[in-house]
Structure 1
Amino acid sequence: ATRFPGLHNWLVGGAVAAGESYAAGAARELAEELGVRARPVPLFTFFCDGAISPYWLALHEARTDGPLRPDPGEMAEIRWCTAAEIDALITAGRFVPDGAEAWERVRKGGHLPGA
């Protein structure tokens, strides 16, 4: 919430720890940020331009029936959006740059999570 105030993102995540796998890092971040225990499934990895610096970004998908318990220190608000709503937020410049880049790759590659 403090790094990109007022901008939206569709991604939940963070950096992997030394020696931690992408899947383990994704599961840990999902639990920390949304209070969800799930087994993330890898979608794809790419070299992201990054708003702060370039880095490898590994996208995963996780499904849960449990409630979401967002950490208020990590995000100001959560809400469900359609793909069209996300596209509109990106076009309006109201999206975190890294999330916008990942979304474009997902849409172009036919990897839309949940599909």
Structure 2
Amino acid sequence: MCSVDEVVERVDAQDRALGPVSRRDAVRKGWLHRIAVAVCHDRQGRILVHRRADQVSRFPGCYEVGIGGALGVGESYEQAATRELEEELGVSVAVRYRFKFLNRSGLSPHWLGVCDAVVPRAVMPNSGEVAWHGWLNESDLPRILQEWTFTPDSPEILHRYFGDRPDGTSVR
């Protein structure tokens, strides 16, 4: 959850820490910082998709494939993703780091670390963050990405997430 005075680390183009700054300044000035998300799936392989609450400051009402937020100073991508899963879904589960990329979509550029997590189907979303959630089959994702309004980074997250599979199939 992003508070007004949230402190994040400003980083460079190689994701090396430069020092603490307010997230508000990082976004306003276009400074690179770090965000972590977890792509959640159940034991049957379905992906959790959620709609952001209407009162959130960034992309209210948009659908999203990752649960996440900004890394605090000194926090790893895995630690931030774990914390965000607890805050937004009410679950405490292990996450696995998958990859990161320099994300230039959205409000400001940032390094986006993508983790994944197997979560129980019964989650207790924070209504201040999550307005709706549902479990979708991977085969439904290409159509849903076209029909619903997603956050700018969701299509790229899914493309990269599924794109590294040995069979080469990918969600687009």
Specify the TM-score bucket, using the shorter chain as the normaliser: 0.7 to 0.9
CA deviation map 1:34-65 (0-9, x unaligned) = 00101211111111122111111111111234
CA deviation map 1:58-84 (0-9, x unaligned) = 111112347311000001101011123
Which letter does structure 2 place at the counterpart of 1:12?
I
1:108 paired to 2:163:
yes
Name the SS of the counterpart of 1:97 in structure 2. coil
Query: What count of residue pairs does the alignment treat as equivalent?
Result: 112
Q: Distance in 2 between matches of 1:68 and 1:96?
A: 21
Contact 2:63–2:148 under 8 Å retained in 1: no
Q: Distance in 2 between matches of 1:101 and 1:57?
A: 11
1:35 paired to 2:79:
no
Q: Which residue is 2:78 aligned to?
A: 23
Asked which structure has the greater CA Rg, the reply is 2
Which letter does structure 2 place at the counterpart of 1:73?
G
- Give the share of equivalent positions with the same residue, in percent: 34
Divergent runs of 4+, >4 A: none
What is the TM-score of this pair, normalised by structure 2?
A: 0.59
RMSD (Å) for aligned C-alpha atoms: 2.0
Q: Which residue is 1:90 aligned to?
A: 145
The structure where strand makes up a greater share of residues is 2
1:75 paired to 2:75:
no
Contact 1:89–1:95 under 8 Å retained in 2: no
Q: Distance in 2 between matches of 1:78 and 1:87?
A: 17
Q: Distance in 2 between matches of 1:55 and 1:30?
A: 20
The structure where helix makes up a greater share of residues is 1
- Greater mean deviation of Cα atoms: 27-36 or 102-111: 102-111
Contact 2:102–2:112 under 8 Å retained in 1: yes
Q: Which residue is 1:54 aligned to?
A: 109
Structure with bigger RCO (C-alpha 8 Å, 6+ apart) = 1
Q: Distance in 2 between matches of 1:71 and 1:60?
A: 20
Q: Distance in 1 between matches of 2:126 and 2:115?
A: 20
CA drift at 1:98: 0.9
Which letter does structure 1 place at the counterpart of 2:92?
R
CA drift at 1:93: 5.4
What is the TM-score of this pair, normalised by structure 1?
A: 0.85
CA deviation map 1:75-109 (0-9, x unaligned) = 11010111232211222352111111111222322
